[in-house]
Structure 1
Amino acid sequence: MDMNTIAVIGSGTMGNGIAHTFAQYGYQVNLIDINDEALDRALTTIGKNLDRQVAKAVLTEEQKAETLARLTRFTSIHDGVADVDLVVEAASENLELKLKIFREVAASAKASTILASNTSSISITQIAAATGRADKVIGMHFMNPVPVMKLVEIIRGYSTSDETTKAVMELSEKLGKVPVEVNDYPGFVANRILMPMINEAIYTLYEGVAGVNEIDTVMKLGMAHPMGPLQLADFIGLDVCLAILRVMQSGFGSAKYAPCPLLVNMVMAGKTGVKSGQGFYKY
């Protein structure tokens, strides 16, 4: 299955990274968000990230210009997905929002269009049930920063077809990624393992076992992690970590996924990490 034109819904950190990557590898990309201000910020970010690639000799100035030329902006889902081969939703980690988006996409996109979600924990099967084309719905969970990180979790919903899975696996490889096929259960693989570790690190701080720097240093030097779990949580977004833990707690019905009270309080206080300027560290 040939895919040449891609729509990316959501132009935040993940969305602009996904759009950047597809455009860099030669795909026409429709980048969709609710207003021009969000799209302006996204395109500015993409431009800066392309400049970094040029500075590192990963791309030439000509390739940067070609990449930017492949990006088209839309503030309407209906218009942005009408004639594309693949839609990648990269909106906030909120089930009702995703269901609303997928209903609109299913009503506007071609019958042959594959519908993918970049969700990090929400059920692909549940999303697919809202579309009327469950065989063509799949998860493409990119890692941040998207242009750099190689992994893409490819999540098969209960009704995702072999044809859809094969097409998305092959497409991911064309982006220079390493796709890993997983089944649709809360947190998939990456976050089912990562989030309990982050949550336990927060509990270790909450219970006074050690400080932020000490916890992160133990994991960096003792476990060879490139970044400590508390710093990583700041980069992911503490609100995102909390949302994923709640999805897993609800999905499995297990208290072992219950978020640490410190994490809950920090999110309520607006201390969500890098994006707010403060989390476990100040930025």
Structure 2
Amino acid sequence: MSSVGVVGTGTMATGIVEVFAKAGHDVLLRGRTTEKAQAAVGAVQKSLDRAVKKGRLSEADRDTILARVTPTAALEDFSTVDLVVEAVAEDLEVKRSVFTTLDEVCKPGAILATTTSSLPVVECAAATKRPGDVVGLHFFNPAPVMKLVEIVHTVSTDADVIATAQKLCLDLKKVPVHCGDRAGFIVNALLFPYLNDAVSMLEAHYASADDIDTAMRLGCRLPMGPFQLLDVVGLDVSLAIEKTLYNEFRDAGLAPAPLLEHLVTAGRLGRKTGKGFRDYS
């Protein structure tokens, strides 16, 4: 598998582009406009520049990696790629629209993958006439650093597509795990009920955010407490995942804590906006 297309220009998309380019793949990075695509390539370059500054990468290797990345604003340019990784907004209708177009423009046998963290992969597959070629490849943020990839198979995913995804992850120096297509997959299905419980605990004035974070870091040896993690992930993203879990399982305990919804409504989305559960301004 030599050529890869990545749809999206956000942090997740640019991280995945970097991962593939470092592994020797030619990568087409598609943004909604040429300017957005070029800016995303700039974000990849900034990440590589940081690696050069820290002595982890030579300038020559950085230039070689960057030369493998081509920006585009046209999904039609993906007609020759072997794999497309969709990394757009966590919105099912937006993703389905992308997959419908990819189905039309990509060559037969190309693998169509989604990086969704919680939405049904089968919904993306159903938007195509080739559901056997659709698989979930859930990378974790930051993609160049995090080793885990969840390979998510639907009831329609072909066995050879799953096998190819497995080999690809190993070639990328990632650690793949396999799971069925259910809300949250493995990690988020276990992680987000815990995060939601932490918000409910804070909301009930049971303990402060600082004390809850300290307790979970020192008591469970976690690298971050729940509120630190929520602010890094983004409260809007976290709320979307909580809603997906609740909508699938209809367990009252999975209903998003009202405080989380209020903070999102107020535009306090975490580190990316300067305020979340804590003030970073």
- Pair in the same fold by TM > 0.5: yes
Normalised by the length of structure 2, the TM-score is: 0.97
Counterpart position of 1:34: 32
Specify the SS of the correspondent of 1:169. Answer: helix
How many Å separate the matches in 2 of 1:211 and 1:277?
20
How many Å separate the matches in 2 of 1:247 and 1:258?
10
How many Å separate the matches in 1 of 2:278 and 2:27?
35
Aligned partner (choices 153, 156, 159) of residue 159 of structure 1 = 156
Specify the SS of the correspondent of 1:138. Answer: strand
Answer yes or no: is 1:107 the counterpart of 2:104.
yes
How many Å separate the matches in 2 of 1:223 and 1:162?
38
Counterpart position of 1:129: 126
How many Å separate the matches in 2 of 1:19 and 1:92?
16
How many Å separate the matches in 2 of 1:70 and 1:99?
28
Q: How does 1:1-283 map to 2 (within 5 A)?
A: 3-79=1-77, 81-283=78-280
Further displaced range: 40-49 or 17-26: 40-49
Unaligned stretches of 5+ residues in structure 2: none
Specify the SS of the correspondent of 2:17. Answer: helix
How many Å separate the matches in 2 of 1:201 and 1:36?
42
How many Å separate the matches in 2 of 1:269 and 1:71?
37
How many Å separate the matches in 1 of 2:129 and 2:142?
32
For residue 161 of structure 2, what is the amino acid of its counterpart?
Answer: T
Deviation at 1:253, TM superposition (A): 2.0
For residue 72 of structure 2, what is the amino acid of its counterpart?
Answer: F
How many Å separate the matches in 1 of 2:187 and 2:67?
33
How many Å separate the matches in 2 of 1:56 and 1:258?
43
Deviation at 1:106, TM superposition (A): 0.6
For residue 23 of structure 2, what is the amino acid of its counterpart?
Answer: Y
How many Å separate the matches in 2 of 1:38 and 1:205?
39
Deviation at 1:252, TM superposition (A): 1.3
User: How many residues are treated as equivalent by the alignment?
Assistant: 280
For residue 21 of structure 1, what is the amino acid of its counterpart?
Answer: V
Root-mean-square deviation (Å) = 1.1
Runs of 4+ in 1 over 6 A off after TM superposition: none
How many Å separate the matches in 2 of 1:180 and 1:256?
27
How many Å separate the matches in 2 of 1:148 and 1:54?
15
